[in-house]
Amino acid sequence: MTDAAAAAELVHYDLDGAVATVTLDSPHNRNALSRQLVTELAERLERAEVDADVRVVVLAATGTVFCSGADLSEASAEGMSAGVQAIVGLQRFVVGMSKPVVARVQGAVRAGGIGLVAASDVAVAVRGATFAFSEVKLGLAPAVISLTVLPRLTSRAAAYTFLSGEVFNGDDAVAAGLVTRAVSPDELDEAVGQVCASLATGAPQGLRETKALLARDLLDRIDARADDMAALSARLFASDEAREAMTAFLTRGR
C-alpha cells in the first residue's frame, strides 16, 4: 500500500496472534458511517472472517468518538437509499460472522454506531462513553439499527431512549442490556484483552457453531424485517422535515 493510500484509509486492520483488530479512523466526521467507511469496514471484516488464524475480532475506533452514526452530509445531499441497505448488510455480517466480535467502545456512540455495538457479541465500554438514539430529534427513527438494538435492550429502556433521544453513559448501557461491561478508561485495554484471551481459547468449530446458535434468532429477525426498516429509514431521511433538521444540525456544527 502506498503512503497516499494508507493516509486515505478510513478503516485499519491489524493482526496480533489470534485477534484481528478493525479500527475506524475517520476523524473529520467523527467516524461517521460514510460510503467509504462502510465499504472499508465490510472489507476488513470479511478479511478477518476468511483468515483461518483469526479467532476473535475487535471492533475499535480512534479519537473521542466511537461512531457518530450516519454521515449526515452525505445523507442530506444524496439521500440514504443505498446507505441504509449497506448499514443493514454490515450489521447482518457482524451478527453472522463465525468468530466472536468484541466492540471496544472508547467514546461517544450515536444512532447507527449503536447498531454496530448491538451487532457485536461482546461490548466493553468506558463508563464515560455516551450513547444516544438521536434520530427522533432529527425527524427520523432508529429503524435499521432497531434490527440489532431492540433484542439487546429491555423494553422500558428501549422506549425511553428511543423516544427521548436522551444521552446515557456506559453504566446505563450495561443496565439496559446494550453493553456487556463498563470500565474506567485506564482499564479498557486490559478488559478487552482479557475478553479476547478468554474467547480465543475456544476451538474454531466450537466458536463457529456456538455463534451460529446465538445468532439464529437475530439473523431471522434481520432477514424478515430488513427491507421494511430500510424503506422506512430511506423515506424518513428523504422527508422535508428531516432534511431541514439535518441542514440545521450541520450548520450548527457538532
Q: What is the CATH number of the domain that holds 112?
A: 3.90.226.10
pLDDT digits (tens, 9 = 90+) for 111-137: 999 999 999 999 999 999 999 999 999
Q: Is the whole-model pTM more than 0.85? A: yes
Q: Is residue 233 in a domain?
A: no
Of 12-26, 35-49, 65-79, 105-119, which gets the smallest average pLDDT?
A: 65-79
Q: Is residue 208 in a domain?
A: no
- Per the structure, the count of domains in the chain is 1
pLDDT above 80: residue 75: no
Q: Is residue 236 in a domain?
A: no
pLDDT digits (tens, 9 = 90+) for 164-220: 999 999 999 999 999 999 999 999 999 999 999 999 999 999 999 999 999 999 999
Q: Is residue 234 in a domain?
A: no
Does the active-site annotation cover 135? yes
Cell numbers placing 67: 461512531
Q: What does the chain come to in residues?
A: 254
Q: Is residue 232 in a domain?
A: no
Q: Is residue 76 in a domain?
A: yes
pLDDT at site 4: 47
CA 38 to centroid of chain Cα atoms? 10
Q: CA-CA distance, 161 to 159, in Å (whole number)?
A: 6
Q: Is residue 41 in a domain?
A: yes
Q: CA-CA distance, 145 to 116, in Å (whole number)?
A: 8
Which one of the listed residues 46, 78, 135, 209 is annotated catalytic?
135
Cell numbers placing 78: 444524496
Q: Is residue 17 in a domain?
A: yes
- Show the CA angle centred on residue 140, arms to residues 136 and 144, nearest 5°: 110
Identify the domain containing residue 164 by its residue range.
3-185
Q: CA-CA distance, 35 to 226, in Å (whole number)?
A: 19
pLDDT at site 3: 46
